[in-house]
Structure 1
Amino acid sequence: MKNIIPRPKKYYPLLITTAIISTLITTISPNLEKNYPQAQAQTSRQPITVRSDVQEANSETGIITARGNVYIEFPSRNIQATSAQAQFFSQERRLVLNGNVQVIQDGNSMRAETMTYLIDEGRFIATPQNQRQVESVYLIEENSP
């Protein structure tokens, strides 16, 4: 049977990106439930929102690249991030942010030139530009007397 609605080839990258993101969300959610008990009460699929000027996805390598004014929101882990570029390596379950990176999690913040987030470990690795340092601001609760 012939397809009634023609799909222009220009939409194929969008369809591939959507399929990869859906796969990534499905892949990420089991570990969220394991490492973050509060996520168990929510649905089993946890979204990660990526906004940028340009995005591309490679279905063969499982790498998603976002460029230009990148904004990432990962609500189940209370993470918000901005950068010039971001790459998600789905097979390694690793997110690499480059260029004026700022990450905020639970009110704590970190700035660096490059930052890698290891999803399964819930760990950030930050590196500065040459001759600079990584900057972090942490909120520390005061004990009441």
Structure 2
Amino acid sequence: MPAAPTPTVAAPGEVVPDPEPETGLVTIESDVQTADNTTGVITAIGNVRIIYPDRGVVATSRQAQFFTRENRIVLSGDVDVIEKDGNSLRAERVTYLVDEERAIADPLPGEQVFSTLFIPPPAADTAAPEPLTP
């Protein structure tokens, strides 16, 4: 039986448990899925839903392709990405570069990408900045 994780001491008298280890598990639901071992491309088509618990992300689209050799995921068609912290992204096409943890969103021609970002307020113990004077 593995030993229990050792807690981390963050400050005198305060004990913070170790974070849960990442599993790397990604769940893909869709109407149809294919995998090509020659190219390393996994394709999901129709009512695609991707759940990535390690990153707290749920994404939906009409199609998704995972390019395993490049570690890149391309979602296309009515893409919605929602993160557990409240951030969201809506676009026609989103390319996620897994190794860089970076997303590139593209709209339909003549349209725009829409995102909602949660920006926490400053800490209560932080003094308010001095107003700018002309």
TM-score by length of 2: 0.75
Return the alpha-carbon distance in structure 2 between the equivalents of residues 144 and 107 of structure 1: 19
TM-score by length of 1: 0.69
Q: Which residue of 2 aligns with 1:57?
A: 35
Post-superposition CA distance 1:34-93 (Å, at most 9, x none) = xxxxxx7426x4200000000000011110000000000111011110000000000000
How many residues are matched?
A: 106
Q: Does 1:101 align with 2:79?
A: yes
Return the alpha-carbon distance in structure 2 between the equivalents of residues 107 and 118 of structure 1: 21
Q: Does 1:92 align with 2:70?
A: yes
Q: Does 1:129 align with 2:104?
A: no
Q: Which residue of 2 aligns with 1:112?
A: 91
1:104 CA displacement: 1.1
Query: What SS is found at the alignment partner of 1:92?
Result: coil
Greater Rg over alpha carbons, structure: 2
- Name stretches of at least 5 consecutive residues in structure 2 with no aligned partner: 1-18, 125-134
- Name stretches of at least 5 consecutive residues in structure 1 with no aligned partner: 1-39
Q: Which residue of 2 aligns with 1:68?
A: 46
Q: Does 1:142 align with 2:121?
A: yes
Which residue of 48, 59, 74 maps to 1:81? 59
1:143 CA displacement: 2.1
Alignment of 1:2-21 (within 5 A): none
Return the alpha-carbon distance in structure 1 between the equivalents of residues 114 and 27 of structure 2: 25
More strand by share: 2
Return the alpha-carbon distance in structure 2 between the equivalents of residues 144 and 115 of structure 1: 33
RMSD of aligned alpha carbons:
1.6
1:140 CA displacement: 1.1
Runs of 4+ in 1 over 4 A off after TM superposition: none
Return the alpha-carbon distance in structure 1 between the equivalents of residues 28 and 123 of structure 2: 39
Whichever residue aligns with residue 51 of structure 2, its letter is E
Return the alpha-carbon distance in structure 2 between the equivalents of residues 121 and 50 of structure 1: 21
Q: Which residue of 2 aligns with 1:46?
A: 24
